[in-house]
Amino acid sequence: MSVALAHSVEGAGPAVVLASSLGTTREMFAGQRTPLARDHTVISYDHRGHGESPAPPGRYTIAELGGDVLALLDGLSVARASFVGVSLGGMVGLWLAANAPERIDRLIVICSSAHPGSPERWAERAATVLAAGSTAPIADAVVGRWFSREFAEREPGVVAAAKGWLLASPAVGYAGCCAAIEVLDLRPELERIAAPTLVISAAQDESLPPAHGRVIASGVAGSRFELLPRGAHIVTIEEEAAVNEMIVRHLGGGDG
């Protein structure tokens, strides 16, 4: 059963959905919403178990996370939308483009994966936060991989705000999403994706290195792969200008 996702709607024009990474909220797209809203209806949301969305107990699946988005679009009377997803958000976008192709116009997948692997790592992370009743035990290590060292030293306030999103994530919700990632393997479904697809990876991303993006790009016919020479996992913040240019060009029908 779907949950009612907390969301924001800005602008007017063709719809584009912004889907955030694990342990963050829709506030991570502060640098994208305003420029995109000039020409689009921008829908940003919090995954179940994150931000202001409900956090039902138990293990989540990628189909449930995708179903939540379809219910959100139905509630907003949006028949078709482009989709921009970072990390977990990109995984949801891949599932939607493969399983509800009539709903996805263009797809942009950023620092994400079709098969993250290391299931024991995700299971251990979920068990740690559930045992503590908080994401605090994992916060420093996780956020340490979100940004490059150079950016973290230059923008400590931005890093602190991002850590605040993670610390505020309910343990049950964070663990539930870890369970979805633990067993995720969308590689067999990539060939079903027909939406024009842009895959963006970052050279310094230790969480999901560029090899993951290349797998997606090789599996989605006609897709384009872009490698940012700088930036770690959350490049929508660290490399905002470059990422925004790529997004706008792809949504406008450009070559990426």
Each residue of 135-147: pLDDT tens digit? Answer: 999 999 999 999 9
Sign of CA dihedral 71, 27, 245, 234: negative
Segment 163-169 mean pLDDT:
98
Residues 28-86 have pLDDT tens digits of: 999 999 999 999 999 999 999 999 999 999 999 999 999 999 999 999 999 999 999 99
The answer for residues whose C-beta is within 8 angstroms of residue 146's C-beta and 6 or more apart is 159, 162, 207, 232, 233, 234
d(CA 212, CA 191): 16
CA distances from 46 to 8, 74, 173, 196, 210 (A): 9, 16, 11, 25, 25
Residues 172-208 have pLDDT tens digits of: 999 999 999 999 999 999 999 999 999 999 999 999 9
Q: Go through 91-109 and write b for each residue having 16 or more CB atoms within 10 A of its CB, e for each that does not.
A: bbbbbbbbbeeebbbbbbb
Helix (H, G, I), strand (E, B) or coil at 29: helix
* Confidence (pLDDT) at 15: 98
* Confidence (pLDDT) at 144: 97
Q: Please state the pTM of the whole predicted model.
A: 0.97
Q: How would you list the strands of the sheet with 224-228, edge to edge?
A: 7-10, 41-45, 15-19, 81-86, 104-110, 197-202, 224-228
Mean pLDDT of the residues in the chain: 97
* Confidence (pLDDT) at 255: 54
Whether residue 218 contacts residue 115, with contact meaning beta carbons closer than 8 Å, is answered with no
One-letter amino acid identity for 17? V
CA distances from 176 to 54, 69, 162, 202, 240 (A): 12, 17, 20, 26, 29
pLDDT band at 256 (very low <50, low <70, confident <90, very high): very low
Alpha helices in the chain (DSSP H): 30-37, 62-75, 88-99, 119-132, 136-144, 149-154, 156-168, 171-182, 210-219, 235-238, 240-251
Segment 116-135 mean pLDDT:
97
Whether residue 34 contacts residue 59, with contact meaning beta carbons closer than 8 Å, is answered with no
Domains identified in the chain and CATH numbers: 7-251 (3.40.50.1820)
Whether residue 214 contacts residue 220, with contact meaning beta carbons closer than 8 Å, is answered with no
User: What is the secondary structure of 124-165 as a DSSP string?
Assistant: HHHHHHHHHTSSHHHHHHHHHTTS-HHHHHH-HHHHHHHHHH
